[in-house]
Amino acid sequence: MEEKIKKIKSQIAEQLKSIKDKNSLEDVRIKFLGKKGEVTELLKEFKDLPKEEKPKFGKALNELKNEIENSIKERETKLKAEEISKKLEEEKIDVTLPSKKIIRGSKHPLTRVIEEIEDLFVSMGYDVCSGPELETDEFCFERLNLPKGHPARDMQDTFYITTEYLLRTQTSAVQAHTMMDNKEKGPIREIVPGKTYRREDDATHSHQFNQVEGLVVDKDISFADLKGTLEIFMKHMLGPNTELRFRPSYFPFTEPSYEVDVSCFKCGGKGCNLCKHTGWIELLGAGIVHPNVLRMNGYDPDVYSGFAFGTGLDRLAMFKYEITDIRLLYSNDVRFLEQFDRKDI
């Protein structure tokens, strides 16, 4: 028995040394302490020992069992520590590696155009104003000299919500708000960038689009002021060689009214695909504020006069950046949007 105990002791020391993982440690435990393990076998043999030898070997066997259990535990703790330091070693971060490139968003072409326009007009003393997109018939039409049943309402296909409420078809609706809200009935200089809605949908029209409105009301405002302002506006947006052409037109809220064309900035007016070989691109509606509009919104047309203009921002962005389909502006395709991150535009 003594021999066997000694042998087991040396075996276990030997085997524990070479152990590399939890599983083989468990194998060793089973080999010595399991149901058929070597120590368990010895305990069985112990039963058959003569009485006088029992106390001596009982103690020795107990000690052996404890010793084995302890050394297994010890080995287990060491294994765990080794595992952790190995993991730490593997997970080491090399802080000197180059970092991942962060993909940054870029400003939407419409935002760019709006900001550019706002900067220009604010520098000339204008306010940037806004109004409701869900508008009343009164402000979108009636206060702009378009009473119910007026044939010019057909110029704009409208989304009516009820007979009184509609999605505004033009930012001109804000003209009436500003004049009505101006308690002192003093001068007005405003631009209104904003969303507008009409029942149309194809490559050059979207049911929702953006306009910027301009309104100036003061004493002695004339067509010369309108012309000069639009010249500054268009040259700023499309280049210093841009020329303007005023064609007589009709809007119920201005008199006289004009459609304003700009010389094609791609061909300089010679004629190309962009301007459909005419040399001109139609970009704005404009005119002198109709006396009825001034009167209806609290301004005396014998004292005050004004000019107004409106342009489609989507159209302006499309020409400026040579975008051929308006729907690209609203489809949020990153391949399209990335192109506007360039420094030169």
Interface residues with ligand PHE (CB under 6 A) are 170, 172, 213, 251, 254, 285-287, 308-310
Indicate the residue among 28 and 283 with the shorter CB distance to ligand PHE: 283
Q: Residue 101, Cβ neighbours under 10 Å: how many?
A: 6
Indicate the residue among 84 and 124 with the shorter CB distance to ligand PHE: 124
β-bridge mates for residue 209, sequence order = 196
β-bridge mates for residue 13, sequence order = none
Indicate the residue among 191 and 308 with the shorter CB distance to ligand PHE: 308
To ligand PHE, the closest distance from the beta carbon of 198 in angstroms equals 9
To ligand PHE, the closest distance from the beta carbon of 194 in angstroms equals 12
Indicate the residue among 38 and 135 with the shorter CB distance to ligand PHE: 135
CA distance 203 to 205: 6
To ligand PHE, the closest distance from the beta carbon of 263 in angstroms equals 20
Contacts with 204 (C-beta within 8 Å, 6 or more apart), sequence order: 315, 326
To ligand PHE, the closest distance from the beta carbon of 215 in angstroms equals 8
16 within 8 A of 71, measured Cβ to Cβ = yes
Q: How far is CA 73 from CA 38, 78, 96, 145, 171, in A?
A: 18, 9, 41, 94, 81
Indicate the residue among 61 and 260 with the shorter CB distance to ligand PHE: 260
Nearest CA among 87, 90, 88, 1 for reference residue 44: 1
157 within 8 A of 199, measured Cβ to Cβ = yes
At residue 7, φ and ψ (nearest 5 deg) are: -60, -45
Indicate the residue among 66 and 204 with the shorter CB distance to ligand PHE: 204
Indicate the residue among 8 and 129 with the shorter CB distance to ligand PHE: 129
Residue found under tokens 């504020």 = 289
Phi/psi zone of residue 288: left (φ > 0), alpha (ψ -120 to 50 degrees), beta?
Answer: beta
To ligand PHE, the closest distance from the beta carbon of 340 in angstroms equals 26
Q: How many helices (H) and strands (E) does the chain have?
A: 11, 9
To ligand PHE, the closest distance from the beta carbon of 238 in angstroms equals 19
To ligand PHE, the closest distance from the beta carbon of 225 in angstroms equals 14
